[in-house]
C-alpha cells in the first residue's frame, strides 16, 4: 500500500462515518424494516473505489476462468496425519463456503487409491464381458453415441465423518462432512450397456474395474446395475476432471462412493461377489463383538449446518441465516429439523427446491442470535421415514471402532464470543 493509498482510505473512512451520522434516522428505519438484520448504510461512497477507475483485463485474459482471488480460501484440503501417502488418500470439499446444491468441479472432494490417472481418451476403452452373450469393447466415441441422460446425484465417501466415532476430532465443517459432493452427471445407464451385450441367466453380480495404478475393483449386485447405475463422462457441463475419473466413471447413486469406480475400463458380469475370491480392498463395518457388517452400501440420511460452522465466527448478536445441507442415499429428503438448545426443542427448516432423490438438498433458516452460548444441530428425515440418529444411538448400535457410515447428528457449540466449535452431545 502506498502512502497515497493509506491517506485516501483514511479520508474515505472519515467520509463514511460522517455520512453514517447524517443518515442515522434513515438507517434506523431500514434496520427495523429488515427485522434487525445488519446492513451497511445506504450512503454512496465519497470516492470511487480502485476497480471503478481503471479498465480491467480483456476477454482474452482468462480462457478458462478462475474464482476471484478473494475466494482463495475456498479450496479442497487434506489431513496430513490421516493416511501414509497422498496417492492413497482423500481431500475434503469446502462445504462451509459453498452455496446451493451443486459442488463446483474444482473443489469436488477426491479419494484416490493409486493417485490421479491422466488418461488419453482416444486410447481409453471400456470392456463389457463375463456372463454376457456378446462381450463388447467401447471407445469413448462409441459410448457418446448411446442414449444419454443428465442426472443430479451426490457422491459421498463411506468414511465421511469417520474420524468422529470416538469423539469430536476435527474442528471444521469441511473435515467433519466434506467427503461429499453433488453434481449433474451426463452419461449412459449401465443397464443400456448390459442389454447391448445380453445378460446370461446366471448373471447375479457385476465387477467394475478402474484404469488407475491401483486398478481399483468393486463388485455389486445385478439389481443395482439394472436399476440406476450410471456411466458418466461429464460433470456439471464439462468433461469429468481427471480427479473424478476422466474420461469415464461409474456412479452407483446413493451408495458409498468407493463403489463408483473412476477411470472405468472394465465391467465383468458374474454369478457371485468377487470379494470372496479377490478384490483390491474391502469396506466393512466393525462391530463391538468383533464381527463386521459386509454389505453396507447405502449412505443413510445425513445433514450438516454449513453456516455457522467452526470455519465461520458469528459476528455479534443479531439476525442471520442458518445454511445447511441434507441428503439420503435412499431417496428424497422430506424434512430437516433444527435445534438451538442441544436437542431439547426442534423446529422445521424450509427446504429449497429442487429436492431430488440421492442429491444434496439445501435448507436455510432465519436465526436471531442473542449472544448467549448455544448448541445448534440439524437432523434429516428421508422419504423412507428414516431419522438421522444421534452419535449415542449410533454407538449403541455399532460401538466406537467403526470408520464407515457415521451419519450422526453434528452439533456445533456457538460460544458467547461467536466462535463455533465441533462438540458431541447426547
Ligand atoms: Co459400507
Tell how far the Cα of 403 is from the centroid of ligand 1, in angstroms: 9
Tell how far the Cα of 147 is from the centroid of ligand 1, in angstroms: 31
401 pLDDT band, cuts 50/70/90, is confident
Tell how far the Cα of 211 is from the centroid of ligand 1, in angstroms: 23
pLDDT tens readout for residues 336-350: 999 999 999 999 999
Mean pLDDT for 152-160 is: 97
Query: Does the pLDDT of residue 303 top 70, yes or no?
Result: yes
What does the pLDDT read at residue 28?
Answer: 37
Query: Does the pLDDT of residue 11 top 60, yes or no?
Result: no
Domain extent listing, the chain: 126-293, 298-423
**Cα–chain-centroid distance for residue 156?**
7
> Structure pTM?
0.88
Tell how far the Cα of 261 is from the centroid of ligand 1, in angstroms: 15
What does the pLDDT read at residue 4?
Answer: 36
Residue predicted with more confidence, 36 or 192: 192
Cα–Cα dist 372/226, whole Å: 53
Q: Determine the 3-state secondary structure of 420 from DSSP.
A: strand
Tell how far the Cα of 284 is from the centroid of ligand 1, in angstroms: 6
Cα–Cα dist 164/391, whole Å: 9
29 sits in which H/E element: helix 24-33
Tell how far the Cα of 254 is from the centroid of ligand 1, in angstroms: 11
Query: Does the pLDDT of residue 423 top 70, yes or no?
Result: yes
Tell how far the Cα of 150 is from the centroid of ligand 1, in angstroms: 26
Tell how far the Cα of 162 is from the centroid of ligand 1, in angstroms: 12
Tell how far the Cα of 287 is from the centroid of ligand 1, in angstroms: 13
Query: Does the pLDDT of residue 24 top 80, yes or no?
Result: no
Half-sphere exposure of 347 (CA within 13 A, CB side): 12
Query: Does the pLDDT of residue 17 top 90, yes or no?
Result: no
pLDDT tens readout for residues 319-368: 999 999 999 999 999 999 999 999 999 999 999 999 999 999 999 999 99
CATH number of 298-423: 2.60.40.650
Tell how far the Cα of 282 is from the centroid of ligand 1, in angstroms: 9
Find the range with the poorest average confidence among 8-12, 83-87, 241-245, 296-300. 8-12
Tell how far the Cα of 111 is from the centroid of ligand 1, in angstroms: 15
173 sits in which H/E element: helix 173-177
Tell how far the Cα of 293 is from the centroid of ligand 1, in angstroms: 8
Tell how far the Cα of 159 is from the centroid of ligand 1, in angstroms: 8
Q: Which fold has domain 126-293?
A: Sulfite Oxidase; Chain A, domain 2 (3.90.420)
What does the pLDDT read at residue 288?
Answer: 78
Tell how far the Cα of 136 is from the centroid of ligand 1, in angstroms: 31
Mean pLDDT for 265-280 is: 78
Query: Does the pLDDT of residue 217 top 60, yes or no?
Result: yes
Query: Does the pLDDT of residue 25 top 90, yes or no?
Result: no
Tell how far the Cα of 344 is from the centroid of ligand 1, in angstroms: 31
What does the pLDDT read at residue 23?
Answer: 37
Q: Across the chain, what does the average pLDDT equal?
A: 89
Amino acid at each position: 500500500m502506498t502512502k497515497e493509498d493509506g491517506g485516501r482510505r483514511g479520508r474515505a473512512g472519515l467520509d463514511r462515518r460522517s455520512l453514517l451520522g447524517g443518515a442515522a434516522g434513515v438507517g434506523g428505519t431500514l434496520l427495523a424494516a429488515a427485522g434487525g438484520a445488519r446492513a451497511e448504510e445506504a450512503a454512496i461512497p465519497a470516492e470511487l473505489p480502485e476497480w471503478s477507475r481503471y479498465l480491467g483485463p480483456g476477454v482474452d485474459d482468462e480462457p478458462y476462468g478462475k474464482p476471484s482471488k478473494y475466494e482463495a480460501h475456498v479450496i479442497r484440503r487434506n489431513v496430513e496425519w490421516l493416511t501414509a501417502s497422498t496417492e492413497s488418500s482423500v481431500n475434503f470439499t469446502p462445504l462451509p463456503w459453498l452455496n446451493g446444491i451443486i459442488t463446483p468441479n474444482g473443489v469436488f472432494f477426491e479419494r484416490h487409491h493409486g493417485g490421479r490417472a491422466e488418461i488419453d481418451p482416444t486410447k481409453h476403452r471400456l470392456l463389457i464381458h463375463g456372463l454376457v452373450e456378446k462381450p463388447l469393447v467401447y471407445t469413448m466415441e462409441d459410448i457418446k453415441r448411446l442414449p444419454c441422460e443428465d442426472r443430479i446425484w451426490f457422491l459421498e465417501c463411506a468414511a465421511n465423518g469417520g474420524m468422529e466415532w470416538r469423539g469430536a476430532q476435527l474442528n471444521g465443517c469441511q473435515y467433519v462432512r466434506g467427503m461429499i459432493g453433488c453434481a449433474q452427471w451426463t452419461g449412459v445407464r449401465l443397464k443400456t450397456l448390459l442389454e447391448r451385450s445380453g445378460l446370461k441367466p446366471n448373471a447375479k453380480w457385476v465387477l467394475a474395474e478402474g484404469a488407475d495404478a491401483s486398478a481399483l475393483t468393486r463388485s455389486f449386485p445385478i439389481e443395482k446395475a439394472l436399476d440406476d447405475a450410471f456411466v458418466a463422462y461429464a460433470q456439471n457441463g464439462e468433461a469429468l476432471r481427471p480427479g473424478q475419473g476422466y474420461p469415464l466413471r461409474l456412479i452407483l447413486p446413493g451408495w458409498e462412493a468407493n463403489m463408483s469406480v473412476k477411470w472405468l475400463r472394465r465391467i465383468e458380469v458374474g454369478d457371485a461377489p468377487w470379494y470372496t475370491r479377490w478384490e483390491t480392498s474391502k469396506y466393512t463395518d466393525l462391530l463391538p463383538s468383533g464381527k463386521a457388517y459386509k454389505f453396507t452400501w447405502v449412505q443413510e440420511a445425513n445433514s450438516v449446518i454449513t453456516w455457522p460452522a467452526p470455519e465461520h465466527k458469528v459476528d455479534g448478536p443479531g439476525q442471520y441465516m442458518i445454511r445447511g445441507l441434507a441428503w439420503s442415499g435412499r431417496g428424497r429428503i422430506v424434512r430437516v429439523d433444527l435445534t438451538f438448545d442441544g436437542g431439547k426443542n426442534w423446529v422445521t427448516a424450509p427446504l429449497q427446491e429442487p429436492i431430488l432423490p440421492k442429491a444434496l438438498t439445501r435448507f436455510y433458516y432465519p436465526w436471531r442470535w442473542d449472544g448467549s452460548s448455544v448448541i445448534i444441530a440439524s437432523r434429516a428425515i428421508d422419504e423412507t421415514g428414516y431419522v438421522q440418529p444421534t452419535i449415542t444411538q449410533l454407538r449403541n448400535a455399532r460401538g466406537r471402532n467403526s470408520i464407515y457410515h457415521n451419519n450422526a447428528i453434528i452439533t456445533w457449540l456457538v460460544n458467547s464470543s461467536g466462535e463455533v466449535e465441533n462438540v458431541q452431545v447426547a
